[in-house]
Amino acid sequence: MRVEVKVDREWLEKWRNYFTEYYDIGGVEEKVREAISFTKLYIRDSIVAVSGGKDSMTMLHIVYNNISHDITVFHWDHGPWLMPRHIENEILENIRKVAPKARLVVKRYAYGANPRSRIDYVKWYKAFFRTLEEIGARHHLLGIRAEESGNRRARGSIVRKRKWIEVYPVYYFTWRDIWAYIFKHNVPVPRTYFKYAKMLGWSRARLTTFHDQEFMKYGSPNIDSIILWRNKSIMVDSSRKVL
Amino acid sequence: MSYVPLKITFRMETPVALGFPWISFDGLVLHVLLRESLGEKYYYLPTKTPIEYIIKKLDVPMIHDPPLKKWRDLYVASVSIINGQPFVFHYFKRGDFRFPSGKIRRGSGFFKDFYLKITYVPVREVVFYATGDPRELARILGKVKALGKDRNIGFGFIKEARIEEVDYEAGLVWNNKCMRPIPVEYLKEYEDAAYLAYRPPYWDKRNIKLCGVPFTKCVLK
């Protein structure tokens, strides 16, 4: 009756088998070893920035299980208008599951409780980078991959910024490697991912902010309105709690 | 005006592109009436202005009541019943400004083509239920050439609109299921609720209330 994307167990199992097999034949293990030896050089005085998406969760899993438990995880909460609360809660739960002993720093975007945050995204960049400056770590470990865009491919796996150095441990991973790692090691990712994967394909499923007009140039809000229609209109009370 | 329960079936020529899981029938009817009332002025409406103010300022006759039965402040008109699996269509959209002569880069910079996505459902029929005046609705629906989003690139073209009289009213609730967003204050029981716009114009945030979700169980008060 209603247009809906349904993720059935059979479909998911089929892809789980595919990616688990790919892990063994696609040389993912070797890429993981390379990522570990590369990241070890920069782990001192670092923060692991985790959005909760597939790339950052893979990176967190690799760093936490193979390098050190003594890490600081930084997570940026976009606020209820940009990130539905059920997904945000799932992300925090997933981070805790993957890295239970890590120090978790969560900063919330204050303007994210305002509906205008979906349109007025310049403020986001200012608030986000100001927060990163306040945290003050020398190395920022991010889940950026070369495959994602031409700009990212041109950057290289280490980028020196004015106040910190960005390090990309999973830089040479492809989308297949990432999903293979996730299915092989049972890395938890938000369930919404599978809906997007079913609709857009595994290579295009990404977790960014939702219903965000910044991504209108990619048509993302059109897809969000079908998959996450329930979160298109939300109500927030005076204490910024979602009703 | 005599109102009778109706089943409205649109036979589709091309797939329907959607920006939400359903299309509201009363929204469609009122859209046509607003376009009729405003005439050419409809196409240069000022933005960020309440719709009532626009109608007042442009000095056009008020939109006459749509030929639909009203229950409290809701029209007895269902949302679309679309049986189909959604797919995604990817396309590039060029700017609609005047391009300069000579060579320009369309891959990046000011003239970059937008890479867009839209969800579409390939269906033969889109069905609505409503209670209204069949003759007036037939006149209005004759002006609807396409349904849904992205009609300008060929989505949602209608082959035929059929209006049939039925002996049951299914515009609000049918088989104990909400057929449109109904505010929970009008419901005795409901299975699922969400913040939804419940009356036209559906883009207006003043019309958002906690509503019983279409196609879930509910009982009217």
Average pLDDT of A69-73?
91
pLDDT score recorded for residue A126 = 85
What is the rounded average pLDDT for all residues in chain B? 89
For B17, the closest chain A residue by CA position comes to A222
For B90, the closest chain A residue by CA position comes to A219
CB contact under 8 A, A229 and B119: no
Q: Domains of chain B by range and CATH?
A: 4-86+121-171 (3.30.70), 173-221 (no CATH)
Confidence of residue B51 (pLDDT cuts 50, 70, 90): low
CB contact under 8 A, A233 and B21: no
pLDDT score recorded for residue A196 = 92
pLDDT score recorded for residue A214 = 86
In angstroms, what separates the C-alpha of A175 from chain B's closest C-alpha?
19
pLDDT score recorded for residue A33 = 95
pLDDT score recorded for residue A4 = 76
Of A199, A226, A234, the CB nearest to B195: A234
Q: Using the predicted structure, report yes or no on whether residue A55 has a pLDDT greater than 60.
A: yes
pLDDT score recorded for residue B43 = 78
pLDDT score recorded for residue A135 = 82
Q: Domain for residue A71, yes or no?
A: yes
DSSP 3-state assignment of A229? Answer: helix
Q: How many domains does chain A have?
A: 1
In angstroms, what separates the C-alpha of A240 from chain B's closest C-alpha?
16
Q: Domain for residue A38, yes or no?
A: yes
DSSP 3-state assignment of B218? Answer: strand
CB contact under 8 A, A219 and B194: no
What is the ipTM for the molecules in this complex?
A: 0.87
Q: Using the predicted structure, report yes or no on whether residue B76 has a pLDDT greater than 80.
A: yes
CATH number of A172's domain: 3.40.50.620
What is the rounded average pLDDT for all residues in chain A? 90
pLDDT tens-digit map of A151-170: 899 989 999 988 899 999 99
In angstroms, what separates the C-alpha of B60 from chain A's closest C-alpha?
31
Average pLDDT of B175-202?
93
CB proximity under 8 Å: B 95-154 to A: 114-119, 121, 149
Q: Domain for residue A237, yes or no?
A: no
Exposure letters B67-90 (e unless 16+ CB within 10 A, then b): bbbebeebbbbbbbbbeeebebbe
CB contact under 8 A, B118 and A229: no
Q: Using the predicted structure, report yes or no on whether residue A131 has a pLDDT greater than 70.
A: yes
pLDDT tens-digit map of A28-45: 999 999 999 999 999 988
Q: Domain for residue A2, yes or no?
A: no
Q: Using the predicted structure, report yes or no on whether residue B62 has a pLDDT greater than 60.
A: no
Residue A56, domain extent: 9-231
Q: Using the predicted structure, report yes or no on whether residue B175 has a pLDDT greater than 70.
A: yes
List chain B residues with CB under 8 Å of A222: 19, 116-119, 149
CB contact under 8 A, A5 and B86: yes
List chain A residues with CB under 8 Å of B82: 1-3
For A218, the closest chain B residue by CA position comes to B116
List the one residue out of B61, B81, B65, B82 whose CA is nearest residue B29: B65
List chain B residues with CB under 8 Å of A1: 81-83, 214-215
The whole model's pTM is what? 0.88
pLDDT tens-digit map of B4-29: 999 999 999 999 999 999 999 999 99
pLDDT score recorded for residue A120 = 84
Task: Give the single-character DSSP code of B184.
Answer: G
Of A1, A4, A226, the CB nearest to B81: A1
Q: Using the predicted structure, report yes or no on whether residue A91 has a pLDDT greater than 70.
A: yes
Q: Could you give phi then psi for residue A102, rounded to 5 degrees?
A: -75, 155
Q: Using the predicted structure, report yes or no on whether residue A92 has a pLDDT greater than 80.
A: yes
For B208, the closest chain A residue by CA position comes to A233
Of all residues in chain A, the percent with pLDDT exceeding 90 is: 62
Q: Using the predicted structure, report yes or no on whether residue A5 has a pLDDT greater than 90.
A: no
CB contact under 8 A, B149 and A222: yes
Chain A contact for B208 (CB, 8 A cutoff): yes
Q: Domain for residue A4, yes or no?
A: no
Paired with A103 in beta bridges are A72
List the one residue out of B24, B43, B116 whose CA is nearest residue A219: B116
CA A73, A74, A80: angle at the middle one, nearest 5? 130
With beta carbons less than 8 A apart as the criterion, state whether A58 and A143 touch: yes
Contact residues, chain A to chain B, C-beta under 8 Å: 1-5, 115, 199-200, 217-220, 222-223, 225-226, 229-230, 232-235, 243
Exposure letters B187-214 (e unless 16+ CB within 10 A, then b): beebeebbbbbbbbebeeeebbbbbbbb
pLDDT tens-digit map of B113-160: 888 899 999 999 999 999 999 999 999 999 999 999 999 999 999 999
List chain B residues with CB under 8 Å of A206: none
Of A2, A199, A235, the CB nearest to B22: A2
Q: Domain for residue A218, yes or no?
A: yes
CB contact under 8 A, B117 and A5: no
Distance CA A175, CA A16 (A): 14
List chain B residues with CB under 8 Å of A234: 195
Q: Of A1, A198, A228, which to mutate for an interface test with B (greatest number of B Cβ within 10 Å)?
A: A1
Q: Domain for residue A206, yes or no?
A: yes
CB contact under 8 A, A3 and B18: yes
Neighbouring residues of A94: CB distance < 8 A, sequence distance ≥ 6: A52, A57, A188, A189, A190
Q: Domain for residue A66, yes or no?
A: yes
With beta carbons less than 8 A apart as the criterion, state whether B136 and B17 touch: no
